[in-house]
Structure 1
Amino acid sequence: MPALTKAQKKLAQAAEDSFNRTYAVQFGEERWQQTLYPTLKASTRYAALTNRFAVTDLDAIFSQEQAAKLQAIEFLSESDLSNSKPLSSFQWDISEAEATFPPPQPDSSSSLMTHWNLDAASLLAVNVLDPKPGDKVFDLCAAPGGKSVALAQFLRPDNYDDASPTLGGGCLHSNEVNTGRNKRLASNLQSYLPAALFKTGEVKVLKLDGTEPFSLQTLPHGPGGYDKVLLDAPCSSERHVIHAHEKAKQSGRLADEMTSWRSGQSKKMAKTQVALLMTALKAVRIGGRVLYATCSLSNDENDSVIEKGMELVQKEHKKSGIKWDFAVRSGDLTAKGLAEWAEPTKYGWLVLPDHPSGGKWGPLFFALLEKVEA
C-alpha cells in the first residue's frame, strides 16, 4: 500500500484536530484527552439480551467457563418504574470487557434466535420508556432492530401463551425508510418474534419517511394512536468515526469518516432529527410518552433538538391551533438510579464510557418526553 502523501497527511491531521477541538470545548480539554477519547477509542462493550419469546436454555448458548464470567445487568428496578419487567440481559465480567459474546443462534424448541448482542445503554433507554403489556408502541427509526426486540420483551404479557401468542391488545410497529435497512429490520424481527404476531398485525414492519408530515396519516393507528414512541434518531455517531479513524491510522490509511467530518454537520443533522421528533410527538396520544435518543456526543443533536422541538410546537400553537404540548420528564428519573449509568444534561441524560461506574457503556443520549394538553 503506497504511503500517504504530504497533502493527505495534512488533510488527515486538520480533520482530527478540528474533531478534537470541537469535543474538547464541550467536555473540557482534560476530560476529552485523558478519559473520554481513550474510552471511546476502545472496543465497544456488549451485553446479551435474552429473547423471552424463545424457550431459551442459557446453558446451550454459553459454555460453563463463559457462564461463570456472566453478570446479570440490573436496570431501573420495578420499584423505580411501576410494573416494568427487568430485561433479562448479561454482561461479561469487567475483566473480560473486550471479549465477544457467542453469536445468536436458533433455539432448539422455538427456532427463534436466542439473544441479541448490543450496548447496554440501548437497553437502559428502552427500560426508561417503560412499555407495558397492552401498550401500542411505535419504533420510528428501528433498524437493525435491537431496540424493537427489547421493546417486545416488555410487551409480552405474563399470561403469554406460546400456543396462541398475542400481545394482549398491544402492538409493536417498527419503521425504517431505507429499503436495504428495512429488509434487514424485517428479517431480524422475524428471526426473534413469533410468526403469529406478524399474522395478527400486532407486530408490523413499516416503511415511512418520518421527516414528511403526511407519513402520519399512513400510520396503522394514525396520529395520536400510540401509547409510547421510541425515536432512536440517525446521528453523527462520533464513536464510529473514532473507530474508523484509529483503524485506518494503524494501516497507514485515511478514514473517510474522519476526513469528511465537519464541525457544522451536527447542526445539519439536527434538522432531520427535529423533523423526526415532531412526527414522534404527533404519533403519540395525549398522556403518552416519547423517548428521544441518539448515540451522538454533540449538544446540537441532543438537548438542542429538544429545545428546537419546543419552539416548533409553540409556532404550531399559533399557526394551526394544536391542542397539545410536551413536557420533559427526564428530571423525574433523577432519584431512580440513573446516576449510576449516566450524567444529567439540560433536558435528558448522557451515558458515556468514561462514567465513574466503570460500565464503559455508550455513548447514548436520551430524553423522556410526555405529550400533554396545551
Structure 2
Amino acid sequence: MTEVPNSVPFLDLASVNAVHQHEYEIAWKTVLQHQCFVGGPEVEKFEEGFAAYCDATSCVGVANGTDALELILTGLGIGRGDEVIVPANTFIATAEAVCAVGARPRFVDVLRDTLLIDPDAVAAAVTPDTAAVIAVHLFGQMADLDGLTAVCRRHGLALIEDASQAHGARLHGRRAGSVGVAAAFSFYPGKNLGALGDGGAVVTGDTTLADRIRMRANHGRAAVNRHRHDQRGCNSRLDTLQAAMLIPKLAELDSANLARRRAMERYRRQLPCWCQPLAVAPMAESVHHLAVVWTPDRDAVIEKLDGAGIGWGVHYPIPCHVQPAYRDFTEFLPVAEIAAKHILSLPMYPTITDAQVDRVCDVLCELAS
C-alpha cells in the first residue's frame, strides 16, 4: 500500500515508547537477572509510586482495568440483587464488570458538552436496589464528582471512579482516583500511562478495602500463610515486567499530559467552526486521552481524512445500552445516542508534533471551504 504524503497516524506508539527505550532495556535486564516475573520488587515500587501520584493511600496492581472494576465491586460486597448506575457513553468494560459480579447496570445519559455522566440523570435513576455509581472519567476529563458525591451521600451509595482514560487528570485540584471509595485504572498500551501489554490497578484511600482486593486478586490467599485461602479468589496480578516498564513512564506522565494539552489547544485554535471539540468543565484539568470532536456529517469527514492519510477513531459508535449483549437494560438516552452518530476522535498522543496537528486542521478546513 502506497503511503499518503504528510500522513498522520491516529496513535503513534512507536514514538511514544521510543522516548523510554533505554530505560526499558535496563528494566528488562534487571528483571531477567532477578527472575521474579510475578510479584517482583518492581510491582511494589510502582504501586507505591502510583498511589502517591493519585493522592491515595493504597494501590493494588492487577491484570487489567476491567478486573480492577470487578474487584472493587466485589470488594464492596456488590453483587446479585444490586443495581449499579453507569453512563451509557463508556467502553463496554464498565458495564461488563457490573454484570460479572451478578449486579445489574442501570444506564443513564450524559451531558451534551462533555459527554460525561449527568448527575441529574443519576439522581433520577436511583432505586431501592441501587448500591453504587460508577463515575467514568472519559476521554481524559473527570466527571462532575461534586454533583455525584452529593447524590451518593444522600442515598448512601458507593461512588466508584473508572479512571481508565484519565491518568493524572484533576478537578478542583483533586486527582483522578482520590475522590471515590476506590478507582479503577487501565494500563492498556494506548492509555496515557500505557504498559507494553495489559495491566491495571485499583487505587483507594481505604486500606482495609485494598487488603481485601489484594487477597482476592491473588487467589484469595492469606497474607500470613500462602497455603491458606481465606476467600474465593481469582488470578489478577500486574506482571513484574509491566510494572518495570510503567515506572519510567509514571515519572514523565505529567510532562506527557502537558504535551497532550498543548496539542488540544492547538486543535481548538485551528479547527473549522463546524468541527467542535468537547468542552472542558470549569476547574477541570483534562489530560486529553482522546481528541473528540462533534461533526455534522461524520462519514464525509472520515472520507476526507482517509484520502489525506490521517488516522481517526470513533468512541463509541454503539452506546452500551443498545449493544445486543445488553438489550435487557435498554432505555432511550438521547444525548448518548445522538453523540454516537456524530463524534469523531482525531490523532492525539504526547509526541504529536505541531506540524501534524496543523496538517489535520488544514485538511478539515479544506472540507469546510
TM-score scaled by length of structure 1: 0.31
Q: Output the TM-score relative to the length of structure 2.
A: 0.31
Bigger relative CO (Cα 8 Å, ≥ 6 apart): 2
